[in-house]
Structure 1
Amino acid sequence: MAYRNKVFVSFDGDTDIHYYRLMCAWKQNDNTPFDFHDAHDIVQCRDTSTEETIKRSLADRLANSKVFVSLIGEKTRYLTKFVKWELEQALRRDIPIIGVNLNGRRSQDIDRCPPAIRDELVVYTSFNAAIIQYALENWPDEYLGLKARGNRGARYYDDSVYRRLGL
């Protein structure tokens, strides 16, 4: 298996793409420590691509990913064509998942959380560069430790972590 060093970001392409673009802008900004190796820069899909072609491209991106970020917006839990498939693939491939609530919640929002990850070992954060970067740096190892001990279910960072990050 090739070395996996990318971050796969899953989102509602119709309503939440601006959050993904903001994450990319954070990465480009020299005044912020936010950084990630974006899995979406590997292969580009076209609007005319078939579902099978798109899923094959997404599978290639997932194969190069060490962590999966799910941007959870108002409609995310209803998306079954690609978002649900991506989440299921991440679970099947044992890729640590970070659920990022776009409504500011710092823990799992059961009303918005996609059913595919509702009971899984996933850490939830709010949408902010500092806490997302913290999760990108810490969650993969935390996930492995928790999984090895048989833990399941939602996780979140307590207020002291947010305070330490200036949030």
Structure 2
Amino acid sequence: MANHAVFISYDHSEDVHYKRLLEAWDANSNFDFQFENHSVRQPINSIYAPAIKTAITKKMQNASHLLVIVGAKSYTSSWIEWEINKAKELGLKIAAVKINSAYTSPSSLLGCGTSWATSFTKDKIIEALNNAKKCA
């Protein structure tokens, strides 16, 4: 597998344990990808949002891929939508994984060629990253 620089987008209040699982896999030499770790706790319309967006953009510019963890509330997150749209603007390859297949996807992931992992497993996520393309 190629080494991917992956920026992970997820709902920090709901799905942080899945991001931590990816970190554990990343520490394992059998799961060969690296990602930018970030945490946004401010609302997207807060006075801090412009500075946060600048910092996230810099991290995303060093990534080759965006991996979106789709949890129960992800589709309601303005930050996740913004990160997906920023990834498209920057030309990142986009992959996503649903924690549960019944969860609603963020609208920005749909109809643009997102590479989907069919389950939250190491092999399926690696496969989705390997198959990811730039989303139009």
Taking structure 1 as the reference length, what is the TM-score of the superposition? 0.68
**For 1:85 and 1:71, how far apart are their aligned partners in 2?**
14
- What's the counterpart of residue 105 of structure 2? 113
Superimposed CA distance per residue, residues 25-48 of structure 1 (whole angstroms, 9 cap, x where no aligned partner): 111135xx11212122xxx66868
Higher Cα Rg, which structure: 1
- What's the counterpart of residue 19 of structure 2? 20
Gaps of 5+ in 2: none
| Aligned residues with identical type, % of pairs | 26
Higher RCO (CA-CA < 8 Å; seq separation 6+): 2
Give the counterpart of 2:116 among 110, 120, 124: 124
- What's the counterpart of residue 59 of structure 2? 61
Contact conserved, 1:74 with 1:112, CA < 8 A, in 2? Answer: yes
Q: Say if 2:127 is the partner of 1:139.
A: no
Contact conserved, 2:26 with 2:34, CA < 8 A, in 1? Answer: no
Q: 1:18 to 1:6 in 2, by over 3 A?
A: same
Gaps of 5+ in 1: 153-167
Query: How many residue pairs were aligned?
Result: 128
- What's the counterpart of residue 73 of structure 1? 71
Q: 1:74 to 1:45 in 2, by over 3 A?
A: closer
Poorly superposed stretches of 4+, deviation over 6 Å: none
- What's the counterpart of residue 51 of structure 1? 49
Deviation at 1:91, TM superposition (A): 1.1
Q: 1:134 to 1:45 in 2, by over 3 A?
A: closer
Amino acid in the other structure paired with 2:73: K
Q: Say if 2:38 is the partner of 1:37.
A: no
Q: Say if 2:83 is the partner of 1:90.
A: no
Taking structure 2 as the reference length, what is the TM-score of the superposition? 0.82
Q: 1:21 to 1:45 in 2, by over 3 A?
A: closer
